[in-house]
Amino acid sequence: MRIVFIAAECAPFAKTGGLGDVVGALPQYLRALGHSVMVVVPRYASIDAARYHLRWAHGPMGVWMGDREEWCAVHVADSHGVPVYFIEHEGYFNRWGLYHDAHFNDYADNPRRFGFLTRAGLQLCKDLNFAPDVVHVHDWHTALGAAYLKIWHWNDPILGGAASLLTIHNIAYQGKYPADHLPYLGLQWGNFTPDKFEDNGALNLLKGGIVYADVVNTVSPSYALETRTPFGGHGLAPYLNAKGEDYFGILNGVDYNTWNPQTDALIPARYSAEDLSGKAICKRELQRRLDLVVSADTPVIGVVSRFVEQKGLHLLAQCIEGIVQHMRVQFAILGSGDKGLERYFGTLPARYSGRIGCYVGYNEELAHWIEAGSDFFLMPSLFEPCGLNQMYSLKYGTLPIVRATGGLNDTVQQYDEATGEGTGFKFDEPSAHAIYYTVGWAVSTYYDRPHHMQRLIRTAMAQDFSWERSAEQYVQAYQRAIHKKRAG
């Protein structure tokens, strides 16, 4: 099969979250299964061209938008045998932020930027003579690709045979913008109807993508069910339900080349389930690095997260001080985003010296240190399409404390206090109370049932969420999309 990914992120080049991880990893595993894959992403200012050996590939390339022609250049880099093409457009992508400026203000021209990226990705297929069997688009940024194939390219010799798969990594982000972008995006006003792109007078790019895509998936089975309901669907449940069996969940895989305590070059010491002595070193070094009291027998709870409402950190903010006041426990926090949360968590180390460590910012190495050096990993998400950190935590023997939602529910098995079975601690209620008491449960297990801790850690480290299985499920999804396209 020939597959083209068009996406706003691709690790390691440009990533803000799980979308980047998936687009960075899945193509490699598809390639290992014998498929031919290429990836198209923007060339953002933050991408280090020298480090990744970017080289000129094509251009100038003319891209027809709805009402004008735009020009760009195309560079390429190799990612484990997969060509990743970078669309260079000075006006659209030569900025440091992927989606917003330094003050977290969304760029007003985002629909044009990503509409252009999507069109450029399709144009590149034509220019490279790469006739895809499937165009795999991701989130609202490139959801338009599914519509373009049917509206513009249905009889094109290169693109006319391509089916589309749209993956929703987070339905809360839908790409809602004023309708006056429609002509530039090349969507006739006939598409601005409630059954396609129109949403309460605005343009909703994800909605239109769902309607036009041959097949739609999201990143965990539980999240697929949740998004079919009025609350979880953020307004799009009816359109997902209309897809019937052509909407389902495929759990994200983990890139164990990057996230594996036995081989991780970023952490202070390596370790395995058989020999956890390296984990003790990682804990000590983490405590030193974040100015925590160095203590082998005080449990450390790690948090690595975007600071956004979805992650439930405003609930943690309501109970974290109570937790450190009443329990012998430490926190190692890494994150950035909401300025109020940054200020709140960023000032806690000064007030709870040696007990709470916090680094505000994005730091890949520290994320690995926290995974390796913590005893527990807290994710109190209000909703979580898949979540990667809890899967990394399992591999690092760092027991997840999670709200039982979406992918968190699918990947963490509840601790059974009677038997010691399970891999983590789950709670249902999205409240500070529930976080407080579940953290208390985990901490009491640490102190009072060390034999259960050992068993939980061993079971957690034996979990396997490798990409191989997910990649095979994606191949089945592509086959379904192709079948649907041919039948249609």
Surface-to-core class of residue 289, CB atoms within 10 Å of its CB (0-12 exposed, 13-18 middle, 19+ buried): middle
Is 267 an interacting residue with respect to ligand ADP (CB under 6 A)? Answer: no
Please, what is the minimum distance in Å from the beta carbon of residue 444 to ligand ADP?
A: 27
- Residues 26 and 311: their CA atoms lie apart, in Å, by 24
| Span 321-350, contacts to ligand ADP by CB under 6 A | 334-336
Q: Please, which residue, 10 or 327, has the CB nearer to ligand ADP?
A: 10
Segment interacting with ligand ADP, rule: CB under 6 A, options 15-23, 30-38, 144-152, 464-472: 15-23
Contacting range for ligand ADP; rule: CB under 6 A; set: 14-22, 109-117, 198-206, 443-451:
14-22
Residue 99 engages ligand ADP in binding (rule: CB under 6 A): no
Near ligand ADP in 300-319, by CB under 6 A: 304-306
Q: Which is nearer to ligand ADP, 191 or 389 (CB)?
A: 389
Residue from 52, 362, 441, 447 binding ligand ADP (CB under 6 A): 362
d(CA 261, CA 268): 10
Q: Which is nearer to ligand ADP, 387 or 424 (CB)?
A: 387
Asked if residue 262 binds ligand ADP (CB under 6 A), the reply is: no
Beta carbons of 334 and 370 less than 8 angstroms apart? yes
Nearer to ligand ADP, 29 or 197 (CB): 29
Q: Which of 367, 394, 401, 475 binds ligand ADP (CB under 6 A)?
A: 367
Q: How many residues bind ligand ADP (CB under 6 A)?
A: 17
* Residue number, 85 or 223, with CB nearest to ligand ADP: 223
Which structure tokens are listed for 287?
A: 């405590």
Min. distance of Cβ 402 from ligand ADP in angstroms? 11
β 202-204/198-199 pair status? antiparallel
Question: Please, which residue, 150 or 306, has the CB nearer to ligand ADP?
Answer: 306
Interacting stretch for ligand ADP, rule CB under 6 A, among 13-21, 111-119, 446-454, 463-471? Answer: 13-21
Of 37-45, 105-113, 138-146, 384-392: span binding ligand ADP (CB under 6 A): 384-392
CB of 268 to ligand ADP, least distance (A): 17
Per-residue contact flags (x/-) with ligand ADP for residues 275 to 304, judged by CB under 6 A: -----------------------------x
Please identify which residue in the block is written with the tokens 């439930």. 312
User: Taking the complex as a whole, how short is the minimal distance between the CB of residue 108 and ligand ADP, in angstroms?
Assistant: 23
Nearer to ligand ADP, 260 or 479 (CB): 260
Separation in Å, CA 69 to CA 64, 190, 463: 4, 22, 50
Cβ at position 280, least distance to ligand ADP in Å? 22
From 187-195, 280-288, 385-393, 419-427, span contacting ligand ADP (CB under 6 A): 385-393
Binding to ligand ADP by residue 411, rule CB under 6 A?
no
- Out of 9, 21, 133, 226, the only residue in the binding site for ligand ADP (CB under 6 A) is 21
Residues that bind ligand ADP (CB under 6 A): 17-18, 21, 304-306, 334-336, 362-364, 367, 386-389
